Amino acid sequence: MVFTTAGGGANQLDTGYNIDNSLRFNDGDSPYLNRTFATPTNRKKFTFSAWYKRSTLSTTQYIISYDSGGLSMGIIGFSSADKFIIYDRDSSSGAADIDYNTTQLFRDVSAWYHIVVSMDTTDGTSGDRVKIYVNGTRVTSFDISTAPAQNYDTIMNSAVSHDIGRWQAGSSYYDGYMSEINYVDGQALDSSYFGETDDNGVWIPKVYDGTYGNSGFFLEFKQTGTSANSSGMGADTSGNDNHFSANNLAATDVTTDTPTNNFCTWNPLQINVNDPPTAFEEGNTVVNETSNADWSSTAGTQAISNGKWYWEVKYVGGGSLMVGAIRQGYASTTFQKTSNAYAGKDSGDYGFNYRENGTFYFNGSTDAGNTTFGSNDIIMIALDMDNQAIYTGKNGTWNDSGDPTSGSSKTGASYTGIQDEFYSPTVSMSSSDVDAQANFGNASYSISSGNSDANGYGNFEYAVPSGYYALCTKNLAQYG
């Protein structure tokens, strides 16, 4: 099982078009891309198409903003109510010239969304001058819908500074992933130019093979530099060389978590609400706790009942940390509603945890005296759902001489009480400052060795055991 994910669902195998990269924005770093547009082809027409996976909810976040000074400005992004918004204002008008606010909410942190804004202010029908498409479907329900006057020249697509990932006039930054950004200057296109529905009814990307106009660009995020050139993460591959400069972004922010292969992350919507973690960071691959004396817990966004799965968690800090797997039924009920809840605390084989002091927690019991781990150690987890066992280790060595490839003999397994249910990765933290930096194949930290699974997915510090796979939708479609 994987939670519903447009463009990266569990049913999706390879199609004719795959997206290789995305760019991860961590709002705490104040990240953004910037470019001043050239003279546009047509300020009355443009199309903005991109894929997004949000990480933080209930805060105002801007996908792209533009500001020509004074009161002339505009935005495309999300409101603090998690609604999609478009705003454009020419200072001479004294009020919003374009103002749209959807009734639809965007609150799935596990999902990739495809959003298209198609602008044509020359259209004789007022309601057709701004068209918004989400996952191939035109949005028709709005809390606010102020259409532009006919032949209005938008501030977006004018020769001014444009930022991707932040609001220029404030301090709000986007938090999450962006991928496959197409900007077409001088044409108003619908979503069918950029995506299509597959045989399973899932909206997936396709190649845009049209022209871009003077200010148009295509961002694929294949490079890792910061300069506004073809080696930068903001490189324009449309042929226009309309490159963006990168600000407060690092090479590790270029990831393989994409609309065509969606990776697991920690889930800020699945926490013990009375003792929540302090923060989720780096596209929800990092969860932090600074002061809670009780256990603060969360689970992963993907759950599995079959197959063999591998991930790593880097422990940073001085507090207490537990790493393991949890039954989704427990994570969704008792785990989410009870203080001080964690996998292995209660009887009933709800899950397993491995603590920094060498204690195993399972079925309401503990097993002390195992290998301890400390700050900057990397914990290895191998979950064998076919043989209902879990293996743990640190820094390349498995506990108890464990052999994750041993199959039904379960040699050296840390726990053999895994049930025939859906399980997700889990982490629990308490006491002083501690980070659990997950690597489900898309780590936010640098990897020194570089190991992928047998399908070529993921980037791990240590070798993936034979027959085990990274938690991503391409693998889930095949083995999960």
Average pLDDT score over residue span 80-93 = 90
Sequence ranges of the chain with CATH classification 2.60.120.920: 266-479
Sequence ranges of the chain with CATH classification 2.60.120.200: 22-255
Q: Contact at 8 Å (CB) between 392 and 339?
A: no
∠ at Cα 362 (466, 374), nearest 5°?
70
Q: Residue 151 has what pLDDT? A: 97
Question: Cα 207 to the chain's mean position, in Å?
Answer: 22
Torsion over CA: 165, 47, 218, 178 (sign):
positive
Would you tell me how many other CB atoms lie within 10 Å of the CB of residue 429? 31
Q: Is residue 302 helix, strand or coil?
A: strand
Q: Residue 68 has what pLDDT? A: 66
Q: Of 18, 470, 34, whose CA–CA distance to 227 is shortest?
A: 34
Average pLDDT score over residue span 367-371 = 96
Q: In the numeric block, which tokens belong to residue 402?
A: 């464990």
Q: Residue 340 has what pLDDT? A: 87
List pLDDT tens digits, range 217-230: 999 999 999 999 99
Average pLDDT score over residue span 280-287 = 98
Would you tell me how many other CB atoms lie within 10 Å of the CB of residue 99? 19
Is the pLDDT at 210 greater than 60? The verdict is yes
Percent of the chain with pLDDT over 70: 96
Is the pLDDT at 202 greater than 50? The verdict is yes
Percent of the chain with pLDDT over 90: 84
Q: Residue 9 has what pLDDT? A: 43
Q: Residue 304 has what pLDDT? A: 97
The Cα-based distances of 242 to 34, 185, 216, 218, 337 in angstroms read 11, 12, 7, 9, 49
Average pLDDT score over residue span 246-264 = 97
The Cα-based distances of 148 to 39, 141, 151 in angstroms read 21, 17, 8
Q: Which phi and psi (to 5°) does residue 428 adopt? A: -135, 140
Tell the residue number behind the tokens 């996998």, with chain if given. Answer: 343
Calpha distance 318→285 (Å, rounded): 19
Q: Contact at 8 Å (CB) between 319 and 428?
A: no
Calpha distance 478→12 (Å, rounded): 9
Calpha distance 381→365 (Å, rounded): 20
Torsion over CA: 441, 447, 452, 457 (sign):
positive
Q: Contact at 8 Å (CB) between 450 and 464?
A: no
Is the pLDDT at 5 greater than 60? The verdict is no
Average pLDDT score over residue span 272-297 = 91
Q: Residue 169 has what pLDDT? A: 74
Average pLDDT score over residue span 276-305 = 94
Q: Contact at 8 Å (CB) between 148 and 131?
A: no
Strand partners, 132: 117
Torsion over CA: 281, 286, 292, 297 (sign):
positive
Q: Residue 135 has what pLDDT? A: 98
pLDDT band with cut points at 50, 70 and 90 for residue 318: confident
Q: Residue 273 has what pLDDT? A: 83
Calpha distance 171→42 (Å, rounded): 30
Whether pTM exceeds 0.85:
yes
Q: Contact at 8 Å (CB) between 45 and 186?
A: yes
Average confidence score pLDDT of the chain: 93
Q: Residue 426 has what pLDDT? A: 98
Q: Residue 6 has what pLDDT? A: 47
Q: Of 34, 446, 63, whose CA–CA distance to 247 is shortest?
A: 34
Is the pLDDT at 469 greater than 80? The verdict is yes
Q: Is residue 274 helix, strand or coil?
A: coil
Q: Residue 335 has what pLDDT? A: 78
List pLDDT tens digits, range 30-75: 999 999 998 999 999 999 999 999 999 999 999 999 876 667 788 9
Average pLDDT score over residue span 151-166 = 92
Question: Cα 257 to the chain's mean position, in Å?
Answer: 7
Calpha distance 256→242 (Å, rounded): 23
The CATH fold assigned to 22-255 is Jelly Rolls (2.60.120)
Is the pLDDT at 212 greater than 90? The verdict is yes
∠ at Cα 385 (384, 390), nearest 5°?
40
* 266-479 is classed CATH 2.60.120.920: yes
Is the pLDDT at 402 greater than 90? The verdict is yes
Is the pLDDT at 1 greater than 60? The verdict is no
Q: Residue 93 has what pLDDT? A: 66
The Cα-based distances of 273 to 232, 325, 332, 345, 428 in angstroms read 41, 19, 11, 17, 13
Look at 38-47, 168-177, 190-199, 464-473 and tell me which has the smallest mean pLDDT.
168-177
